[in-house]
Amino acid sequence: MIPKKLILVGLLYVNIGLFAQAGNVGVNTVTPGTTLDVNGAITNRETAIAISGNAVTVPANVSQVQLTGAATATVTITAPVAPNAGQRLIIFNNTTGGFGATLNGVTIPNGKALEYVYSNSGWRPTDGGAVGIAGVNIYNTNGSLTSNRTVSQGTNTLSFTGNQVNAFSVDGSTLSVDAANHRIGIGTATPQRMLDINASALPIRVSSLQTATAGTNVLTIDNLGDVRNVPFNNLLAGPVSLSLIPTGTYNATGNESVLWCGSSGTTINLPIPTSSQIGKSIYIVASAGTAVPLTGSTPTVSNAVKLTSITGLKRITIFAIAANTFGNVTNEWVVVAKDF
C-alpha cells in the first residue's frame, strides 16, 4: 500500500510542472537551459514599509518594497547586507510630500521605482540615469568628448541660467559670462562692463562698415577704455563743424572746419578765401586710402608751390591768408601742417 503522503507529493510535483534535467531545474518546461529556467512570469511579493523621521530600514530577505508615509525631506534608506552577491531589490518610493528616497548615494524620485543589485559589498542601482538622479552625465560628472558633436536645435531654444560671476566660460577667460552682473568678458573672467575686452594688442577688428553721412556721431575710447558715442565736434578744440565728403567733387565754401573724405573718388574744390575767412583753418583728411585731388584755389606749400593732391590715409591743415601777406596777389590758402 502506497503511503498517502507520497501520493500527495507526487501529485504536487505533476501539477506545478517541475522538471530536472542535467543539473538544471525547469518550471513549466521539460528542457531547462540554465540552473533555474522558468517558462512564465515570476512574482516578487511586495512588502510595504512606512517611513519614520524621513528614514526607513528595509528588512532582510525581501525582494520588493514599497515606501509609504509622509516625508518632509529626502528619505534615507538603509538596506541589510545581502547574504550573497547578485541578490536583487526593487524599491518603490510611494511616499507623500514629493521627496526622493536615497540608497547608497542614488536617489529614487517620488513616484518612481528603482531596482538594485547587491555587488562589491553594496547595493548598486541598475539604472542610475533614467530613474535615479546620480547617473553619470554632464550635470554631476566631468568628462571629455570622444568625438565631434552637433546639437540640432530646430525650432527649439537653448538657454542657460545662473547667478555667479564667471557662471559660464570657455577656456578660462577666453570667454566669460558674468550672470551675477549681466556682463560678458573676453580675455577676462571678471568683466567690469557689459562687454569687457582685455587684450594686450589689436583687441577689436570691425569690417564692412557703412559709409557715414554728414552729422553722424563717432565712437571714441576714453582713458579708461570705455567706448562712447559722441559728436565729432566734441573731439576738436573750439567751435568746429564736420563735413563727411561723399564720392564726387565737393565744392567747399571755406566755412568748414573738417573735411573728412571717407570715400574713394572724392575731389575737393577750394574757393578763394573771403575777407571774413582770413585766419581760418580747415583740416582735410583722406581717410579712404586713395588720394584726394585738390582743385580751385589750391593751397600753397612753400615757394609758391601748389599742393594738388592729398596722399591716401594722410591729412593736411590749410590756413587762409590775406593778399600780399607773402607776396601773394589775392587771398589764398597755405599749408601749415601735413603728414606726408
Domain boundaries, the chain: 46-125, 168-197, 238-338
What pLDDT shows up at residue 64? 94
d(C-alpha 332, C-alpha 279), whole Å: 11
3-state secondary structure 217-266: CEEEECCCCCEEEECHHHHCCCCCCEEEECCEEEECCCCCCEEEECCCCE
Evaluate if residue 320 carries a pLDDT over 90.
yes
Cα–Cα dist 45/66, whole Å: 11
In this structure, CATH architecture of domain 238-338: Sandwich (2.60)
Specify the range with the lowest mean pLDDT, choosing from 11-15, 106-110, 240-244: 11-15
Of 248, 240, 246, 243, which is closest to residue 259 (Cα–Cα)?
Answer: 243
Question: Cα(191)–Cα(175) distance, rounded to whole angstroms?
Answer: 10
Residue 21 vs residue 132, higher pLDDT: 21
Euclidean distance between CA atoms 109 and 78, whole angstroms: 16
Residue 195 has pLDDT above 90, yes or no: yes
What average pLDDT does the segment 76-90 reach? 92
Q: Are 243 and 255 in contact (CB under 8 A)?
A: no
Choose between 227 and 184: higher pLDDT: 184
pLDDT(22) > 80 = no
Give the contacts of 271 (CB within 8 A, at least 6 positions apart).
Answer: 251, 252, 253, 254, 296, 297
**pLDDT band (50, 70, 90) for residue 193:** very high
pLDDT tens column, 124-179: 988 754 444 445 567 777 888 889 989 999 999 999 999 999 999 999 899 999 99
What the block records as the C-alpha cell of 264 is 574713394
Give the residue with greater pLDDT, 127 vs 97: 97
Q: Give the pLDDT score at 33.
A: 82
Average pLDDT over the chain, rounded to an integer: 84
Which residue type occupies 117? V
Alpha carbons 340 and 311: distance in angstroms, whole number: 7
Query: Average of pLDDT values for 207-220?
Result: 64
Q: What is the pLDDT of residue 183?
A: 96
